[in-house]
Amino acid sequence: MVRLVNASGFERLLISLSALLLSILIGAVIILAAGRMTDCGSAVYTLAFPGSLVTGLVGGDALFSMGFCYDPFSVYDKLFLGALGDVLNNPTNGQFATTLAETTILMFTGVAVAIAFRAGIFNIGAQGQLVVGALLTAVVLVYVAPAFSGLGVVATLVLLPFGLLLGALGGGAYGALPGALKAYADANEVITTIMLNFVATSVALYLVSDHFKDPESFADQTVAIPDFSLFPSMLFRARDDFSLVALGIGVLTLVGIWYVLTRTSFGYDVRTSGLQPDAAEYGGVDADRTIVSSMALSGALAGVGGAVYVLMILGNFQTGVPSYGFDGITVSILAGNNPLGVGFAAFLFGVLKSGSIVVQVGSDVPPELVGVLRGLIILFVAMPEFFRMAGRKFYSVQPTGNRAVAADGGGGHDE
Amino acid sequence: MSEASIRGRAGSAVRNARERLFEGRSPLQQIVIAVSLFAGVALLAGGIFAPNSTASDLLTILFADSTLAATLRLSVPIAFAALGGIFAEKSGVINIGLEGLLIISAFTGIWATDITGSVWLGLLGGIVASTLLAGLFAVVCIEFRADQIIAGLAVWLIALGLAPFASSVVYGGTTTVSVPTFQTLPNMNVPVLSALVTTPLGFVVELPVFGVLDLESSLVGIPFFGALFDANPTVYLMFAAVALSWYTLNRTAFGRWVVASGENPKALDTAGVNVHRVRYAAVLLSGVLAGVGGAALALGIGQFTGNGPTMVNGKGFIAIVAYLFGNYNPIGAFLSTMLFAGLDAVQLTLQARDVFQVPRPLVRTIPYVTVIIVLALFGRTRLPEAAGDNYESGEGE
């Protein structure tokens, strides 16, 4: 039995990797196609048949040759390796710091989406919950922090956890709302969470521009939080906006959520509600309460992500928050909704996000490419049957019958 | 007709309306309906009998010439997407990717118009792009039995990435160049129609509330309803599509197959109709309809804006709520679309006129908040029995 269950976990890993590879391959085709649509002085990349190696040896011209404005190999080189910077010689370089900073926030939004998924709920609202958590943290800390000035390390030790708690409270309340609407009014959570994303963005814009605006700034942003309540930069340079403390908290959170899901009775309730809602209810699980509490927990995690975004990267709240919430959906799906897998998927997406900056600076390829890859990865992970069919052509395996990604699936492999 | 019989008829009409509005509703729903009715009556009364009051200001906005025009214009993308959603979901495939179809067709509509110089070819381009993406979604859901919700989200996110990406490649930024837009009917020079709506009728009537009914000039001059004769062709396409969709679903063999494929695919299979083929047709049709909506949205403005949630800005998701609220009936979906679009139109006017001094970002949330309230109060609709499930026929597997 254990062997079979492990096989399904292994199959899931294979599907995620295949989906990733296929997305990169199709991404390359899109880069080439885009390279034909735009104008450039001379072709950056030429596809020829037979290749230059053959024509060089035998002589003569290629039978077929086509020039492209974008070189997919160079794009992917910048995207994946560029994100690491010169990590072997200088592990604290700026680009790698950006990658790790993005990874840290995506860990929170990824695990937020994952825990809702495991309870059978699609939380598309991690973005809005992150915004609310970030705003609450930024606004309250500005008022509270001055009381602690001059206390040194003590101030940081008090204010930093307080800031994270504020993020959790804000995001948690904003996540519990669609949870309650689903549990007690049967309102589809996909729609309500998406609508609440729009509401959060607009209300945040209103609050910042009309009430909490930094009077010395033209942009819509709040007053800067004093440095002593922010994450310390530790080994990395302060201007790279990354803290190992935050990354450590992120890793601990993932392990903690994994423990809660697999080793506690609350986690058992959540998982059975996701897999078999009727059986769970029959077994004495209060379905409505489980929906609200797992959405509150999910929102709280996204909210902490928002607090980390404020306390590690920005130092205040600014409107126009990057799409961490939507990337969290991809991270979670790619990780098979497993909290520990979220760590790896978050790092992969941290690389993509940070690498897209390198691509933007170093080539003409628009950085929106990462958005396309994000969608493709979700699409391919959602169709495990495709890879099973492809796999069966080469190598005959018994399908395990599990759907790799489904709101009611999640993961049967950590029983 | 005697006075008693008139009173009897009026009484039965009131009873009828009361039954339709309140019967079978939960207490909370009844309260909300009653409060909205009361607010409506109070607004009308206040507007008519107390000029210069807030109520009269709001009434003026509600019945401003521009309000119906804006409502119709804003309805187009939502109504087309909702019609598409009805076909897909009735057939058993929940198409939550409508937003993505609107985004991709909005960009392609502009791009194709820019290349060909023709708005109509642009519309066609938008339809083709949206149908292709819907085709991909159909293959993934029907052939590879993907989870429909996740695949739908993927369609949305792919379009959300691809449209700004393509715009940056072609136009060097997420916002495209400006292209020609659809002209309104009187200016289109359609031989008979344009003449019909612009011909002077030659009389003027004075009406309470509405003001002067100026038919001296033309039908377009009718206050409020004049907008019906002064819209762009996509608005008339929308009316036609609503009627045609209703007819197709309720009066044709294909419509019955679509419904059966969503309610009882096994029975349809037994009757010798290929369930997969019906679902493919329904999902592709949702692509075509959403394509018209997205292209019409962009070509009504003449430009695609792709930053943030793009110019589509949640209209695809509002469309889903519109058809749920309309209980999968094309006409019901259209009416609820008019409600959401109407709120959006009032919201735009409120922003422009600055009547109540409510900050703009808050005014902007009105349609989204309404969607949540409507969904919470009336979202308990019955999904087609087999919606969301994959169907495998006994043969061939």
- CATH number of the domain to which A14 belongs: 1.10.3470
Q: Phi and psi for A46 in degrees, rounded to 5?
A: -120, 130
Among candidate residues B339, B367, B316, the one with its CA nearest the CA of residue B88: B316
Q: Are the beta carbons of A305 and A108 closer than 8 angstroms?
A: yes
Q: What is the mean pLDDT of residues B251-256?
A: 94
Q: Using the Cα atoms of residue B31, residue B33, residue B39 and residue B44 in order, give the sign of their dihedral.
A: negative
Contact at 8 Å (CB) between B375 and B317?
no
HSE-CB for B251 with a 13 A CA cutoff: 6
Q: What is the pLDDT of residue B397?
A: 38
Q: Do A366 and B170 touch (CB under 8 A)?
A: no
Q: Is the pLDDT of residue B208 over 60?
A: no
Distance CA B216, CA A74 (A): 68
pLDDT value, residue A407? 44
pLDDT for position B193: 61
Task: Judge if B110 and B252 occupy the same domain.
Answer: yes
Chain B residue numbers touching A196 (CB-CB < 8 A): 368, 372
Residue that terminates a domain, selected from A26, A53, A70: A70
Write the CB contacts of A36 (distance below 8 Å, at least 6 apart in sequence): A68, A69
pLDDT at residue B91, as a whole number: 94
SS3 label, residue B317: helix
> CB of B279 within 8 A of CB of B254?
no
3-class DSSP state for residue A21? helix
Residue B250's contacts (CB-CB under 8 Å, 6 or more residues apart) are: none
**A296 pLDDT more than 90:** yes
Among the partner-chain residues A37, A186, A333, the one whose CB lies closest to the CB of B379 is A186
How much is the pLDDT for A415?
34
Instruction: State the smallest CA–CA distance between residue B377 and chain A in angstroms.
Output: 7
DSSP tally for chain A: helices H, then strands E: 15, 2
Check CB contact under 8 Å for A187 and B158.
no
A contacts of B153 (beta carbons < 8 Å): 122, 124, 190, 329, 378
Q: Is the pLDDT of residue A7 over 70?
A: no
In tens, the pLDDT along B97-128 reads 999 999 999 999 999 999 998 999 999 999 99
pLDDT at A127 over 80: yes
Residue A167's pLDDT is 97
Average pLDDT over residues B47-59: 69
Residue A286 is predicted with a pLDDT of 86
Mean pLDDT value across residues B363-383: 81
**Alpha-carbon distances, residue B91 vs A379, B359, B386 (angstroms):** 21, 43, 8
* Domain assignment of residue A141, yes or no: yes
Q: What confidence tier does B31 reach under pLDDT thresholds 50, 70, 90? A: confident
User: Which structure tokens are listed for B262?
Assistant: 């969503």
B330 vs B21: CA distance, rounded Å: 20
B81 and B208: one domain? no
Nearest to B170 among A37, A188, A209 (CB): A37
Minimum CA–CA partner of B172 in chain A: A366
Does A374 sit within 8 Å of B157, measured CB to CB?
yes
3-class secondary structure, A306 = helix
Summary mean pLDDT of chain A:
85
Find where tokens 């929308």 sit: B238
Closest CB to A406 among B147, B156, B368: B147
* Whether residue B252 sits in one domain with residue B170: yes
Whether A39 has its CB under 8 Å from any CB of chain B: the answer is no
- Please indicate if any CB of chain A lies within 8 Å of the CB of B375: yes
For residues A323-327, average pLDDT: 90
**Closest to A317 measured CA to CA, from A154, A198, A83, A139:** A139
Same domain, A164 and A55: no
Positive or negative torsion for Cα A85, A334, A296, A204: positive
Q: What is the residue range of B96's domain?
A: 76-184+232-341
Domain boundary among B312, B341, B370: B341
Asked whether B149 and B95 are in contact (CB, 8 A), the reply is: no
Look-up of token digits 């006129």: B353
Q: Is residue A400 part of a domain?
A: no
For A145-160, the pLDDT digits (tens) are 888 887 778 888 999 9
Establish if A379 touches chain B: CB-CB under 8 angstroms. yes
Whether residues A264 and A293 share a domain: the answer is yes
Q: How close B48 comes to chain A (CA, Å)?
A: 34
Asked which of B319, B341, B363 is the last residue of a domain, the reply is B341
* Confidence band of A204 (pLDDT split at 50, 70, 90): very high
Whole-number percent of chain B with pLDDT over 90: 43
> Is the pLDDT reported for residue A168 higher than 90?
yes
* Peptide bond between residue A215 and the one before it cis (omega within 30 degrees of 0): no
Same domain, A100 and A58: no
Same domain, B180 and B195: no
B36 against B336, higher pLDDT: B336
Give the number of domains in chain B: 2
B-contacting residues in A 132-161 (Cβ below 8 Å): none
Q: Are residues B213 and B301 in the same domain?
A: no
Nearest to B169 among A34, A186, A405 (CB): A34
Q: Is A123 domain-assigned?
A: yes
Question: Which pLDDT score, from 0 to 100, does residue A409 have?
Answer: 41
Residue of chain A minimizing CA distance to B146: A383
d(CA A350, CA A210): 34
Q: How far apart are CA B293 and CA B234, in angstroms?
A: 8
Q: Are B349 and B339 in contact (CB under 8 A)?
A: no
The pLDDT of residue A3 is 42
CB contact under 8 A, A378 and B321: no
Is residue B352 scored above 50 in pLDDT?
A: yes
Given B310, B326, B341, the domain boundary residue is B341
Q: Is B115 on the interface with A (CB under 8 A)?
A: no
Number of H helices, E strands in chain B: 17, 2
pLDDT surpasses 90 at A303: yes
Could you tell me what percent of chain A has a pLDDT over 90?
A: 43
Beta strand ranges found along chain B (DSSP E): 204-207, 211-214
Tell me the count of A-B CB pairs closer than 8 A. 155
Q: pLDDT tens digits, residue range B175-202?
A: 898 888 887 666 665 656 666 666 666 6
Shared-domain flag, residues A181 and A55: no
Q: Which domain holds residue A254?
A: 2-37+75-394
Residue B44 lies inside a defined structural domain of this protein: no
Work out the burial of residue A276: count CB atoms within 10 Å of its CB; fewer than 13 is exposed, 13-18 middle, 19 or more buried: middle
Query: What are the pLDDT digits (tens) for A340-399?
Result: 999 999 999 999 999 988 888 888 888 888 889 989 998 998 888 888 888 777 665 545
B-interface mutation test, from A363, A379, A385, most B Cβ less than 10 A away: A379
- Contacts for A137 with CB less than 8 Å, ≥ 6 apart: A163, A164, A166, A167, A170, A306, A307, A310, A311, A317
> A323 and A200, same structural domain?
yes
What single letter denotes the amino acid at residue B380? R
The two three-digit tokens of residue A105, written as one number: 């926030």
Q: B87 with B193, same domain? A: no
Residues of A in contact with B360 (CB under 8 A): 206
pLDDT at B379 over 80: no
ipTM here: 0.85
Residue of B nearest to A334 (CA): B150
